[in-house]
Amino acid sequence: MSNSVDRRRFLKVLGVTGAGAAAVSACGIGPEPTERLIPYLIQPEDQIPGTATYYATTCRECAAGCGVRVRVREGRAVKLEGNPDSPINRGRLCARGQAALQGLYNPDRVAHPMVRNASGVFEDIDWDGAIQRLTAKVREAQGKGIVFLTGAEQSSFGDLVDEWMRQVGGRHLSYEPFGFEALRAGNRMAFGTGTLPTYDFANAKYILSFGADFLDTWLSPVEFQNGFSRAHAFDAGRPASMSKFVYVAPRLSLTGMNADQWIAARPGTEGMLALALAQVIVTQHLARLPTPPDASRLSALLVGYAPRAVAATIGIDEAMIVRLAREFASSGGGLAVAGGMATQSPNAAQIVAAVNILNYAAGAVGTLVKFGADLAIGSTNTFADLTALMSEMAAGRVALLFVHGANPAHSVPGAFQQALGKVAYKVSFSSYLDETAAACDLILPDHHPLEQWGDSRPRAGVTALQQPVVQPVFDTRPTGDVILKLSGKTGTFQDYLQNKWRARHATNFDQYWMDGLSKGGIYIEAPARTVRLAPTASGIRATAPVDSTGDEQTVVAFPHPILHDGRGANKPWLQELPDPVSKIAWHSWVEVHPDTAAKWGLATGDFLLLKSSFGAQKFPAWITRSVRPDVLAVPTGQGHTAYGRYAKDRSANAFELLGAQPNDYGGRSFTVRASATKTGEHRKIVTTEAGPRELGLGTTEVLPLARAKALHRGDHPFHYEETPEYAKDAVEWWGERQHEKASLGNYRGEHPRWGLAIDLAKCTGCGACVTACYAENNIATVGEELMQRGREMAWLRLERYWRTAEDGGPQGAVNQPMLCQQCGNAPCEPVCPVYAAYHTPDGLNAQVYNRCVGTRYCSNNCPYKVRFFNWHNYAERDGQYDAFPDPLSMLLNPDVTVREKGVMEKCTFCVQRIRGAQNQARLENRNVRDGDILTACQQTCPSDAIVFGDLNDRNSRVFELAGNPRGYHVLAGLNTKPAITYLARVVAQASPSRG
């Protein structure tokens, strides 16, 4: 083949990959249409073919506003990674953040503007036509009520909306399904300020959470998880210690699983408990009391909360309360937080206030509870405001409604839908055809956040900048531009944004702007604000809820840690990621305590019909001891009636059970009374948790804190021997012989031995690593049906083993990430007839996909069961199990093969990243440094539980950790010589039961 042809083909290929995005933006369909190849004749200066470019921007999957770096290859965003510069997530990212890509390349995005025609069906419309039509609508609606409904928008976009609404005489309303009204109300009561402070978990010595799920859904999960793991981890760079974490809630959430102790207090009595603790602290002078006036006020309002008085009501014994109080105060850094489960009962505001009192009494306010650096989500409108709007709409007093970044039709199903019907003209800016958009008259699809300019102010002092990282995938437009056009202003939203920023910082603006772009935002320390006990504080009362009679159950609807309020449901990665607690994927469930189940003759998988006074839904039962017997818990997030192929008609919507009335503090109550009846239907639960047997036959190790503290280098605190004494010589002699015989060809000479250290004391089981692995390694999602048949492909899975207390109930759980151990003596290798599984000189247990014929012997012989087989062709275009329907295929990592049907696949420590770093080092004529290589799981882990490195490098972090006395190898007795060292979980109990 002649060179010229080679070159042309070369350019062609570049054209396909490079200009692809540009091409699609023009014709609005799938990936690269081959008829519009544009070779790189003039190459974009920031694009070197085959080399990734990273752009800093901001994650908009939730209101936390984490900074992200987007890995862009030839014009496609292929991976999201946390932005180390961001003070919020410090370079970490959660599963939902990772999955933002699947929002960008979602096959069910609204590809172009659509309008509802006379016959009520959507038809395409061009942008100019749409905008003309809308301009007219705005004109005629002026004065008749115009409302712009957005999600939490503390951003220049929000400001723009405000301005425009002022201009047209409408109003801007922001709505988050899980607002934090109770928190704000509680703060108002205690401190007279309705803002949300930020919490410094990292420096807490003792964490007491009243239902606040700060690891999964509460305020700023990644930030808090990162802080929590610093505080709660064992010897995390501090004098060997570990802050105890006590979780008070009727149900164990992801956060609860990580507690050292779970106190299942009666729902609604958390406030009482808090005040009782405060009472003990104050009366026993356990903490340095605040100024006299406060002190007197405190003791005044704490009268009547002596443990003896309230213990019975709360449902835990007095001694326990006193003990907790002592521990909390004496830790010299106790932090109590309230939210989630605890703030769902009608007296939630009271509870939060009570917890504030506890913090105040213990002196946490101002040190660990930081007012001043207030969280933006605190300034979204309350649920009461939404309900007010709904009644206006219902009354026909809203002529024109804009919806952007919110889907109330899903989170307030009945009421909002009806109200929506009464609105004359409804416009949606949604990128997806969600329930709300489906009910609108005009859809002007917004760019995905990764495609457009923007910023957000997640908390005081942090202004995160958001820039387009790829060409628009579809014929969409930034809503900012649309608004500017409608309001008759010139310029694009980008100009508007820059002006905003210029206004903030005129001098030497370009430098400022470039800083913002490169760092992903401007970060300054917000001035702290000291708060004092407010006069209203004396009015704080913690009352126990009245026991309602009748056979109705307390049903708690909790935010799904992964799908959250349902916005994640259209992303296959998130659907396939099992819920960290129940390990259930692809559908929702109801958590039932075994005793209750026995009472009703219920088995896991039996459907339970929950009928509240607002609605009824069927959920398959998941029988677990991680919930109180008198409580049923259901996750939100599923049960969409629209929102794309992955979300639509999947299981049941928990919001259906909830009412649409705000309670006295303006929030929404997520606990309802509902009747539960067995329907007789049954389904097979889609779970990764194993079948019928007693779990955890010695793969996890747990140490009591005292024991762990006493450990010295070289100790071996575990019940088993890596190699029994009598076998040592034999094994060593044998090993040497083997390896000298094996040191041949490429295997001769010095090589690194790549290894991993996973600290179970840090791992929270959040699942970010799993999704990161999917994203990095092109792992196929197999869907509900195949997952039910045990065919999920997750190279990295999280095994959740309950730690059972004396009474048999769970104390919490140990989460063990299980992935290929890259064994030194890998059992999988010698059994492969075609050398598809073999050992690389640098100690990796490689899998050559193209060489594999699929005998599957390797998996049978793998004691860790971390090899996964392609039962179907998951990459087959329009195949039954197509995992990458266009344009989802655009996020495939070009560095990793997409596997064919009939081959085995597995984790190889992100070998593509290893080789990449080695090549880079070679170019720079140096050796690979420790920390050059981050595996995808390590990079994203919010709690920094995973460390990768060279075990032959005596100065590497992983070498140091591998020598840690807490370190152990799973199934070391098999002499597989794993490259992964697990560091035992440490718990504050005296005698922890092994997982």
Partner 1 sequence: MMPLPKPLQEIFQPPPTPGILGVFQYLDATLDAIKELRAGGHTDFTVYSPIPRHEIEDALGQPVSPVRMFTLSGGIAGCAIGAWLTLWMSYDWPIVLGGKPVGSVPPYVVIMFEMTILFGALSTILGILFNAAFAARRLGTIQYDPRFTNDRFGIFVPADARKSAAVEKLLRDAGAEEVRRG
Partner 2 sequence: MAEQQSPPSRLTYDYVTRTIARTLGSPSRGYFVLLGAAVALLTIGITTLVLLIRYGLGLAGYSHPVYWAVYITCFVFWVGIAHSGTLISAILFLFRSGWRTAVYRTAEAMTVFAVMTAGLFPLIHIGRQWYFYWLIPYPNERGLWPNFKSPLIWDEFAIGTYFTVSTVFLIMGLIPDIAAVRDLATGWRKKLYQLCSVGWRGTNEEWRHFTRGYLYLAALATPLVLSVHSVVSWDFAMAIVPGWHATLFAPYFVAGAIYSGCGMVITLLTPIRKLFGLEELITVKHFENLAKLCLLTGSIVSFSYVTENFVAWFSGNPHERAAFWYRAFGPYWWASWTMNICNGLLPWLLWSKKVRTNITALFVISIFVNIGMWFERYVIIVVSLAGEPYTTWTNAVYNPTWADWGIMAGSFGWFFMWFLLFVKNFPAVSISEVKEVLAPPRSKISRVHA
CB of 293 or CB of 830, closer to partner 2: 830
Residue 850 is a binding residue for partner 1 (CB under 8 A): no
CB of 533 or CB of 787, closer to partner 2: 787
Contacts of 835 (CB under 8 A, 6+ apart): 848, 851
Size of the site for partner 1 (CB under 8 A): 24
Distance (Å, whole) CA 248 – CA 271: 11
Give the 3-state DSSP-derived string for 80-126, with helices as H, strands as E and coil as C. Answer: EEECCCCCCCCCCCCHHHHCHHHHHCCCCECCCCEEECCCCCEEECC
- Which residue from 45, 48, 100 is spatially nearest to 70, judged by alpha carbons? 100
Residue 696 binds which entry of partner 2, partner 1, none, CB below 5-8 Å type-dependent: partner 2
Residue 332 is a binding residue for partner 2 (CB under 8 A): no
Distance (Å, whole) CA 481 – CA 478: 5
Q: Regarding beta strands 616-623 and 946-950, do their DSSP bridges make them parallel or antiparallel, or are they unpaired?
A: unpaired
CB of 662 or CB of 824, closer to partner 1: 824
Among 285, 288, 693, 713, binds partner 2 (CB under 8 A): 693
Residue 738 is a binding residue for partner 1 (CB under 8 A): yes
Helix intervals (H) in 854-951? 857-860, 911-923, 936-940
Amino acid at 162: D
Size of the site for partner 2 (CB under 8 A): 56
Whether residue 887 has a cis bond before it, omega within 30° of 0: yes
CB of 374 or CB of 799, closer to partner 2: 799
CB of 43 or CB of 743, closer to partner 2: 743
Residue 900 is a binding residue for partner 2 (CB under 8 A): yes
CB of 672 or CB of 904, closer to partner 2: 904
Q: Give least dist CB 797 to partner 2, A.
A: 8
Residue 977 is a binding residue for partner 1 (CB under 8 A): yes
CB of 397 or CB of 851, closer to partner 1: 851
Among 741, 923, 925, 954, binds partner 1 (CB under 8 A): 741
Residue 747 is a binding residue for partner 1 (CB under 8 A): yes
∠ CA 798-557-264, rounded to 5° = 70
Residue 71 is a binding residue for partner 1 (CB under 8 A): no
Residue 506 is a binding residue for partner 1 (CB under 8 A): no
Q: What number of other Cβ atoms are within 10 A of residue 721's Cβ?
A: 13
Amino acid at 365: V
Residue 827 is a binding residue for partner 2 (CB under 8 A): yes
Residue 522 is a binding residue for partner 1 (CB under 8 A): no
Give the 3-state DSSP-derived string for 325-390, with helices as H, strands as E and coil as C. Answer: HHHHHHCCCEEEEECHHHHHCCCHHHHHHHHHHHHHHHCCECCCEEEEEEEHHHHCCCHHHHHHHH
Residue 528 binds which entry of partner 2, partner 1, none, CB below 5-8 Å type-dependent: none
Residue 831 is a binding residue for partner 2 (CB under 8 A): yes
Residue 749 binds which entry of partner 2, partner 1, none, CB below 5-8 Å type-dependent: none
Contacts of 714 (CB under 8 A, 6+ apart): 965
Q: What number of other Cβ atoms are within 10 A of residue 143's Cβ?
A: 10
Amino acid at 743: S
Site for partner 1 in 283-322 (CB under 8 A): none
Residue 294 binds which entry of partner 1, partner 2, none, CB below 5-8 Å type-dependent: none
From residue 441, how far is each of 31, 271, 448 by CA, in Å? 29, 46, 21
Q: What number of other Cβ atoms are within 10 A of residue 110's Cβ?
A: 23
Q: Give least dist CB 793 to partner 2, A.
A: 9
Residue 832 is a binding residue for partner 2 (CB under 8 A): yes
Residue 25 binds which entry of partner 2, partner 1, none, CB below 5-8 Å type-dependent: none
* Binding flags for partner 1, 449-488, as an x/- string (CB under 8 A): ----------------------------------------
Q: Which stretch binds partner 1 (CB under 8 A): 489-497, 717-725, 733-741, 886-894?
A: 733-741
Q: Which stretch binds partner 2 (CB under 8 A): 40-48, 109-117, 429-437, 788-796?
A: 788-796
Distance (Å, whole) CA 301 – CA 295: 10
Q: What number of other Cβ atoms are within 10 A of residue 693's Cβ?
A: 6
Residue 683 is a binding residue for partner 2 (CB under 8 A): no
- What are the E-state strand segments in 201-266? 206-210, 244-248, 261-263
CB of 526 or CB of 848, closer to partner 1: 848
Among 902, 917, 953, 994, binds partner 2 (CB under 8 A): 902
Q: Which stretch binds partner 1 (CB under 8 A): 44-52, 534-542, 651-659, 739-747?
A: 739-747
Q: Which stretch binds partner 2 (CB under 8 A): 252-260, 268-276, 456-464, 693-701?
A: 693-701
Residues of 609-638 as b/e, b for ≥16 C-beta within 10 angstroms?
bbbbebbebbbbbbbbbbbbbebbbbbbbb
- Which residue from 459, 528, 460, 532 is spatially nearest to 192, judged by alpha carbons? 532
Residue 847 is a binding residue for partner 2 (CB under 8 A): no
Q: Regarding beta strands 904-906 and 946-950, do their DSSP bridges make them parallel or antiparallel, or are they unpaired?
A: unpaired
Residue 826 is a binding residue for partner 1 (CB under 8 A): yes
CB of 457 or CB of 800, closer to partner 2: 800
Helix (H) or strand (E) holding 227: helix 221-232
Among 233, 758, 904, 987, binds partner 2 (CB under 8 A): 904
Residue 744 binds which entry of partner 2, partner 1, none, CB below 5-8 Å type-dependent: partner 1
Among 718, 838, 849, 857, binds partner 1 (CB under 8 A): 838
Among 123, 790, 919, 922, binds partner 2 (CB under 8 A): 790
| Strand, coil or helix: 695 | coil
Would you state the structure tokens that stand for residue 46, as one six-digit string?
Answer: 């920031």
Q: Which stretch binds partner 2 (CB under 8 A): 194-202, 220-228, 304-312, 901-909?
A: 901-909
Q: Which stretch binds partner 2 (CB under 8 A): 34-42, 68-76, 724-732, 864-872?
A: 864-872
Residue 694 binds which entry of partner 2, partner 1, none, CB below 5-8 Å type-dependent: partner 2
Q: Give least dist CB 976 to partner 1, A.
A: 9
Site for partner 1 in 80-119 (CB under 8 A): none
Q: Which stretch binds partner 2 (CB under 8 A): 2-10, 21-29, 303-311, 846-854?
A: 846-854
Q: Which stretch binds partner 1 (CB under 8 A): 56-64, 110-118, 370-378, 832-840?
A: 832-840
Residue 699 binds which entry of partner 1, partner 2, none, CB below 5-8 Å type-dependent: partner 2
Amino acid at 909: F
**Directed axis angle between helix 270-283 and helix 307-314, to 10°?**
160
Residues of 27-56 as b/e, b for ≥16 C-beta within 10 angstroms?
eeebbbeeeebebbeeeeeebeeeebeebb
Would you state the structure tokens that stand for residue 22, as one six-digit string?
Answer: 């540009």
Residue 483 is a binding residue for partner 2 (CB under 8 A): no
Residue 690 is a binding residue for partner 2 (CB under 8 A): yes
> Could you give the count of Cα atoms lying within 13 Å of 874 in the half-sphere of its Cβ?
25
Helices (H) and strands (E) counted in the chain, each on its own, are 30, 37
Would you state the structure tokens that stand for residue 888, as one six-digit string?
Answer: 């989802």
Q: Give least dist CB 975 to partner 1, A.
A: 9
Instruction: Provide the edge-to-edge strand list for the sheet that holds 146-150.
Output: 122-124, 114-116, 442-443, 425-428, 400-404, 146-150, 171-174
Residue 830 is a binding residue for partner 1 (CB under 8 A): yes
Q: Using CB under 8 A as the criterion, which residues of the chain lie in contact with partner 1 when the complex forms?
A: 735, 737-739, 741-742, 744-747, 823-830, 832, 835, 837-839, 977
Q: Using CB under 8 A as the criterion, which residues of the chain lie in contact with partner 2 when the complex forms?
A: 688-699, 786, 789-792, 797, 799, 818, 827, 830-835, 851-857, 859-861, 863-865, 868-873, 880-881, 900-904, 970-971, 974
